[in-house]
Copies of this chain bind each other. A is one copy, B any other.
Amino acid sequence: MISMKEIGRICGIAESTVSKALNGRPGIKAETRNRVIEVAAKYGYQPNAMVECMQTGRSRSIGIACNNFQDPFTGLALDGVHETLHQFGYDSYVIRWDKLVEDHAELLSRFARRRVDGLLLFPTARPPEQSHIAQLHAFHNPVVLIDQLWRGGEFDYVGSDNRGGMAALVELLISQGFRKIGAVTYPGVSSGEERKQGFLDTMFKYNLPVDARSLLEIRDAREAYVEIRKLLAGDARPEALLCFNDFFATDALNAALDLGLRVPEDLAVTGFGNLPFAEKLRPHLTSVDQRIFELGERAARLLLDRIDGRETGPRRRIILPATPVIRDSSRLPLIHNRRTAL
């Protein structure tokens, strides 16, 4: 890769003159400027981003930590994040939590050595430890959390109205006549707790009992199918099962199908997140739309606003609305409608 110094040597002028020529600064003869530009193009000159970083103290890059690249939620949000980053001329380094969650210091160290201008943190598989939070506070640059709130961590946050979205969903199901409603929860992460609360609050609001046996806590996503199937095969089977996310809902649909249950006649199933595949499922999955792409965009935007000093106030919490999308998996045919007066 050719440098300004070499271009200067080729043109027979000082490198600082080359700098002025290429950056459109005044004080350069048009003839000299054109010649420099010509040579630069010929040899494919590209300015060295490292130098810019050393001079300005800004790398125009951010660090992203996410669980892995396979999760559709992560993928969709990352697309949103990169949409915004690209607009602002930023690039990103992505490191996976599942690879470095054990060695939090190593993760931060790598980002620090790269001199990233800020951090964007996706949900962790396990709740973050206090020592990790302390290390992040010691990190000089802005930090934005996406989708998962950290207890005790005073960071900017962009997430969904999990409680409100779930509450709205429960209300819709109740208005359709469902009464025996169960839920598959994912404790430990903030979004799981919020969705569970939205469910419980709304059931309480309408004086509907919640059978403890139909409140399923999943701690390891790999166990979801088996646990849900056990629930559906037993006496406590509800009329509707509200799942923490669309994956659990897929497992619920499959478990129901494998048990010979009809969805939604024997069991209504709902997810959360409204991931792209929800529409591809049969029956089409009812879910709560989270505007995931926008979640990514807003998180990146907030981070860049902090970095560039457009946002200087106290910690922000941006909450996007979450709206239920009713599809076949919870939509009873008229003939089956359980609607009754409340």
A interface residues (Cβ-Cβ under 8 A, vs B): 1, 44, 46-51, 53-54, 59, 61, 68-72, 74-76, 78-79, 82-83, 86, 91-96, 99-100, 109-110, 112-115, 138, 140, 250-251, 253-254, 257-258, 276-277, 280, 282
Contacts and interface: CB of A to CB of B under 8 A. Distances in A.
B69 A74 contact: yes
Contacts of A59: 50
A254 B282 contact: yes
A1 B115 contact: yes
Interface of A is mostly: helix
**Copies held by the complex:** 2
Contact of A93 (B91, B96, B254): B91
B46 A54 contact: no
Given A51-B54, A94-B94, A46 B79 contact: no
A70 B276 CA distance: 9
B254 A109 contact: no
A109 B45 CA distance: 9
Contacts of A53: 50
Q: Which residue of A76, A250, A282 has the most chain B CB atoms within 10 A of its CB atom?
A: A282
Contacts of A138: 44
B282 A257 contact: yes
Contacts of A1: 112, 115, 140
Given A49-B115, A69-B79, A280 B250 contact: yes
26 contacts: A44-B112, A46-B113, A48-B54, A48-B113, A49-B113, A50-B53, A50-B59, A50-B115, A51-B54, A68-B79, A69-B74, A69-B75, A69-B82, A70-B72, A70-B75, A70-B276, A74-B75, A82-B94, A82-B96, A82-B99, A86-B95, A91-B110, A92-B93, A254-B280, A254-B282, A257-B282
Contacts of A54: 48, 50-51, 54
Contacts of A110: 91
Contacts of A282: 253-254, 257-258
A95 B276 CA distance: 22
Q: Which residue of A48, A95, A99, A276 has the most chain B CB atoms within 10 A of its CB atom?
A: A48
Nearest to A292: B70
A307 to B, nearest CB: 15
Contacts of A253: 282
Given A46-B109, A277-B277, A71 B79 contact: no
Given A69-B78, A138-B44, A99 B86 contact: yes
Nearest to A74: B69
Given A70-B75, A75-B75, A86-B96, 19 more contacts: A1-B112, A1-B115, A46-B109, A49-B113, A49-B115, A50-B51, A50-B53, A50-B54, A69-B74, A69-B76, A69-B78, A79-B96, A82-B94, A86-B100, A92-B93, A92-B94, A250-B280, A254-B280, A258-B282
